[in-house]
Amino acid sequence: MNTENARVQMRKGVLELCVLRVVQKGEAYTSDLSQALKKADILVVEGTLYPLLTRLKNAGWLEYRWEESKAGPPRKYYTLTSSGEELLATLDKEWNQFVNAVNALSQS
């Protein structure tokens, strides 16, 4: 039985929500994000974040500012926009409903 694929798909599904949650806690740089998500065992590699962040930024949910870095090239620090906050609130609600619904399936 291949559980790996199901796990990957599940993580992929909630990745967007998780990124928004981490960014909400404070400005975040790509490697900050990846570290937080790796710790939570949601993400394995950083690469996946680049298309996602670009997409969220293009959709107007995230914005970034440049910050000079002593450890290499300037970094992009991401923050939530107001519409990003709204999106997160909606997704949070949906997530809770989802978790409840899934749990309810095994209880009944």
Partner 1 sequence: MKKTIDIHLGGLLFHLDEDAYDRIFAYLEAVKQRLKNEEGYDEMLRDIESRLAELFFASLHPGKQVISIHEVTSAMETLGRPEDFSENSHQNEPIADTTEASVSSGKAMKRLFRDVENGFVGGVSGGLGSYFQLDPIIFRVLFLVLFFGKGIGLIAYFILWVAIPGAKSTAQKLAMRGEEVNIENIKKSVEEEAQRMKARFQEGIHEVAPAARHAAQGMGQATHQILKGLGRALSSLLRIIGFIFLLGLGAAGIALTVIGTFGFSWHGEAESGNVMDLFLTILPSDMASSIFWLATGTLVLGLLIEIVALILRFTFRAKITPYAWRLIHGIAILSAMVGVIIWVFIGLRTGLEFRQEAYYMRSLELKEPQSHFVLAMSSQRLPHERNPWQTHGKAKMGNAEEEGTWSTDGNEIYFEGIALDIKQSLRNVPSMEVLIEAHSGNRRTARLKASRVEYSLEVRQDSLLVGDVIHFPFEDRFRGQNVRFTLYLPIGHKVYLDQSLLGYLDHVDNLQNVYGPKMVGKYWLMTERGLRLWEGSIR
CA separation for the pair 76, 66 (Å, rounded): 5
Residues 77-106 that bind partner 1 (CB under 8 A): none
* 2 near partner 1, judged by CB under 8 A: no
Nearer to partner 1, 69 or 100 (CB): 69
CB 15 within 8 A of CB 36: no
Q: Minimum CB separation from partner 1 for residue 105, in Å? A: 26
CB 78 within 8 A of CB 36: no
Q: What would the two tokens of residue 77 be?
A: 């620090």
* 40 near partner 1, judged by CB under 8 A: no
CB 84 within 8 A of CB 61: yes
Among 7, 25, 55, 65, the residue binding partner 1 under the rule CB under 8 A is 55
Contact set with partner 1 (CB under 8 A)? 5, 8, 12, 30-31, 34, 44-48, 50-55, 57-58, 69, 71-76
